[in-house]
Amino acid sequence: MKILITGGAGFIGSAVVRHIINHTDDSVINIDKLTYAGNLESLKEISRDPRYQFRQIDICDAQAVVQALNDFQPDAIMHLAAESHVDRSITGPAEFVQTNVVGTYTLLEACRQYWSALPEARKAAFRFHHISTDEVYGDLPHPDEMEGELPLFTESTPYAPSSPYSSTKAASDHLVRAWGRTYKLPVIVTNCSNNYGPYHFPEKLIPLIISNALEGKPLPVYGKGDQIRDWLYVEDHARALYTVVTKAQVGTTYNIGGHNEKKNLDVVMQVCELLDELRPKASRYQEQITYVQDRPGHDRRYAIDAAKIEKDLGWKPQETFESGLRKTVEWYLNNQEWVEHVKSGAYKNWIEQNYENRS
Burial category of 337 from C-beta neighbours within 10 Å (exposed 0-12, middle 13-18, buried 19 and up): exposed
DSSP per-residue letters across 109-166: HHHHHHHHTS-HHHHHH-EEEEEEEGGGG-----TTT--SSPP-B-TTPPP---SHHH
Which one of the listed residues 41, 58, 75, 135 is annotated catalytic? 135
Q: Give yes or no: 165 in active site.
A: yes
* CA gap 9, 44 in Å, rounded: 10
Is-contact 195 237, C-beta < 8 A?
Answer: yes
Q: Give yes or no: 87 in active site.
A: no
Query: Other C-beta atoms within 10 Å of 91: how many?
Result: 8
* CA gap 113, 17 in Å, rounded: 25
Which one of the listed residues 134, 173, 235, 236 is annotated catalytic? 134
Which one of the listed residues 105, 137, 165, 302 is annotated catalytic? 165
* CA gap 326, 310 in Å, rounded: 25
Burial category of 322 from C-beta neighbours within 10 Å (exposed 0-12, middle 13-18, buried 19 and up): exposed
* CA gap 270, 322 in Å, rounded: 9
Alpha helix stretches (DSSP H) within 56-92: 62-72, 86-91
Going by C-alpha positions, the residue among 305, 307, 310 that lies closest to residue 134 is 305
Q: Give yes or no: 242 in active site.
A: no
* CA gap 120, 137 in Å, rounded: 36
> Catalytic residues, which ones?
134-135, 165
